[in-house]
Amino acid sequence: MDFLQPGTWSDALAAKAERPAAVPIAGGTDVMVEMNFDRHRPEALLDLTRVEGLAAWDTDDGPVRLGAGVTYSRVITELGDRLPGLAMASRTVGSPQIRNRGTVGGNLGSASPAGDAHPVLLATDAVVEVESAANGVRHISIGDFFTGVKRNALAPDELIAAVRLPAASGPQQYAKIGTRNAMVIAVAAFGLALHPAERRVGTGIGSAAPTPRRAPAAEQYAATALDEANLWDSRDPLPPSIATRFGDLVAEAAAPIDDVRGTARYRVHCLSVLARRTLLWAWAEYRRDETGKG
C-alpha cells in the first residue's frame, strides 16, 4: 500500500487523477476504523492533512467557505456565531477526541445517512465545491450530493475542496435522538434554519431515509402558514397547531428502515417531535431577537 502525502491542492488533485483508487484520508475517523478491522485495504492512502489551505475557512465572497479539512472542534470554537446550526450539530458528534480530528469534508465523503453535518447543510442550502485536475471546479448543491446509502456525487478523480453555506440570517437548530448524550449514531436527527429575509424555513432529515434529505412539503407549509398569519412581521408566538402540522409533514418526508438502532415507526415518531420542537425553539429565539440577524 502506498502513502501519498501532497502538500498542495494541485498535487492532491494530480495524485487523485493518477490514482483514482487511492482513498483520501482526512481525520481518519471513518477510514481508520475500516482499515483497523480489515474491512478495506486500499491500494493507496491519500493523506489530505498536509494540503495547504484545506483546513481553512473564509467569508471573502459572502457565504462561509468551509474548507473540507476543518474539524468539528474548530467549527464549534470558530464558527458558532456564523454557523450556529452546524456548530450545534458538531457538538453532538462522537467525543472530544473524535471532534478534534473528524472533519465536515470527511462526513460528506462518507455520506452516511446518519452524518450529523448533513441535515444542517440541507437546511441552509449548502453547496459542495469539488474539483478534479481534468475538469476543474464543480459546485454541487447539497440536495444533489447524496446519491445513495453512503454514496455521493463525487467522480473517482474528484476531491471535496470545501462546502459553502450562508452565514446564518436567523435562528438555527439541530436535534438528534440517540441512546445517550455522547458517542451516538443518530436514531433520527433534524436540522432547521429560519431564513427570515426570505420568509422561509429550511429543513434537513438525518438517519431516516437512504440519504439525508429535505422535507419540501413541510418547508412549503411553513412558508405559507407563517406568511398568511403575518408572523414574520408580528413576531407573535407560534400557534402550536402550525408546529404540530410542520412536524407531521417532516415525518411524512422520511423513509426509514427498521434496524438495531430503532424501528421505522419509532424514527418517524421521533422526527415529528424533533421537527415540532426545533421549530418552536427557533421561533422563540426569533421573537427574542427583535433586531433580527438578517
Partner 1 sequence: MRVSCTVNGESHEADDVWPGESLLYVLRERMGLPGSKNACEQGECGSCTVYLDGVAVCACLVAAGQAQDSDVFTVEGLAEGELLHPLQQAFVETGAVQCGFCTPGLLLAAHDLLRSRPRPSDVEIREALAGNLCRCTGYGQILDAVRLAAERLADRPSTQLGG
Ligand X SMILES: Cc1cc2nc3c(=O)[nH]c(=O)nc-3n(C[C@H](O)[C@H](O)[C@H](O)COP(=O)(O)OP(=O)(O)OC[C@H]3O[C@@H](n4cnc5c(N)ncnc54)[C@H](O)[C@@H]3O)c2cc1C
Give the footprint of ligand X on this chain (CB under 6 A): 23-31, 33, 48, 68, 93-94, 98, 101-103, 105-107, 109-110, 115-116, 159-160, 183
Q: Choose the one of partner 1, ligand X, none that binds residue 170, judging by a C-beta under 5 to 8 angstroms depending on kind.
A: none
Residues touching partner 1: how many (CB under 8 A)?
30
CB of 75: closest distance to partner 1 in angstroms? 15
CB of 18: closest distance to partner 1 in angstroms? 17
Chosen residue from 17, 19, 100, 169 binding partner 1 by CB under 8 A:
100
Candidates 179-187, 190-198, 253-261, 266-274; binding stretch for partner 1 (CB under 8 A): 179-187
Q: Is 41 in the site for partner 1 (CB under 8 A)?
A: yes
Residues sharing a CB contact under 8 Å with residue 158, sequence separation 6 or more, in sequence order: 16, 130, 131, 132, 135, 138
Burial status of residue 24 (CB atoms within 10 A of its CB: 0-12, 13-18, 19 or more): buried
Question: Which among 104, 131, 102, 129 has a CA at the least distance from the CA of 119?
Answer: 104
Q: Is 7 in the site for partner 1 (CB under 8 A)?
A: no
Cell numbers describing residue 29: 475517523
Q: Is 56 in the site for partner 1 (CB under 8 A)?
A: no
Q: Is 29 in the site for partner 1 (CB under 8 A)?
A: yes
Q: How many DSSP H helices and E strands does the chain contain?
A: 12, 13
Amino acid code (one letter) for 11: D
In the bound state with partner 1, the residue whose beta carbon lies nearer, of 45 and 162, is 45
**Could you give the CA distance from residue 288 to residue 291 in angstroms, rounded to a whole number?**
9
In the bound state with ligand X, the residue whose beta carbon lies nearer, of 47 and 248, is 47
- The beta-carbon contacts of 49-52 under 8 Å, at least 24 apart in sequence, are 49/25, 50/5, 50/6, 50/7, 51/6, 51/7, 51/8, 51/9, 51/11, 51/12, 52/7, 52/8, 52/9
Site residues (CB under 8 A) for partner 1, limited to 252-281: none
Chosen residue from 137, 183, 197, 284 binding partner 1 by CB under 8 A:
183
**Could you give the CA distance from residue 183 to residue 180 in angstroms, rounded to a whole number?**
7
Chosen residue from 49, 110, 169, 244 binding partner 1 by CB under 8 A:
49
- Give alpha helix (H) positions in 37-82: 72-79
- The per-residue DSSP string of 102-151 comes to -BHHHHHHHT-TT-TTHHHHHHTT-EEEEEETTTEEEEEEHHHHEEETTE
CB of 47: closest distance to ligand X in angstroms? 9
Q: Is 93 in the site for partner 1 (CB under 8 A)?
A: no
Chosen residue from 16, 65, 82, 101 binding partner 1 by CB under 8 A:
101
Cell numbers describing residue 225: 402558514
Q: Choose the one of partner 1, ligand X, none that binds residue 288, judging by a C-beta under 5 to 8 angstroms depending on kind.
A: none
Q: Choose the one of ligand X, partner 1, none that binds residue 85, judging by a C-beta under 5 to 8 angstroms depending on kind.
A: none
Q: Choose the one of partner 1, ligand X, none that binds residue 217, judging by a C-beta under 5 to 8 angstroms depending on kind.
A: none
Residues that bind partner 1 (CB under 8 A): 1-3, 5, 25, 27-29, 31-33, 35-37, 41-42, 45, 47, 49, 73, 94-98, 100-101, 181-183
